[in-house]
Structure 1
Amino acid sequence: MKSYSDIAELIESLESQVRALNDEINTLKQEPKSFNEQVIFKYIDTGSTGKTKDFVRSLEVKSDRGTLYSSGDVSKLIKNGADDISPELLAIARKVVHMKKKQGK
């Protein structure tokens, strides 16, 4: 929790956090609008680049290089983003990456 100087400031901080969480929830409730968003949703769902790679391979989709999709392709997509991925969705995926790094998984 952030430090605060009075109750009004604490309330404003908490309300801001609630708004941010509601925005994330609304983003996650949306349907993917592109294949890349579908990949990002799968990563957020599983928290695993390996499981996401397996999902993409099951769809028989190849990478930009024309080879089988790899975990590295998933990581690269999360890191670099793409024009057809909403910034809000990408931010959530990056949060998942940071959570996993914090947990050491």
Structure 2
Amino acid sequence: MEGKKKFIYLGDGNGDFCPSLKLGEGDHVMPRKNFPLWDLICKNLMLVKAKIHEWTDGEELERVLLRLTNTISMEEISSNNSAQLISVDCKFQTIPMSAHEALPQALPVPH
């Protein structure tokens, strides 16, 4: 499994184009439709080796990403012929907060 990692790259800006070109055939790029990355990929389609999955808003991003991760998981399980846990390398930053420190007041959002 160690040598067969697959990457899913999400982006929407010009700065996301170069990393998208570094992805291989087994990887996936998720450009936000009608944003700079999407436009660059459309103009240079032959340069992108990764599979392309566009999205337009948060709900569609969630749907596409969940479908994609489920598909990749099922492919991994079927290729190994056994259900194994798939390790995911996520980078989270934890901001320490005192137990007595209050959270900031939520901002009202007009409907």
Could you tell me the TM-score, scaled by structure 2's length? 0.23
More helix by share: 1
Larger Rg: 2
Could you tell me the TM-score, scaled by structure 1's length? 0.23
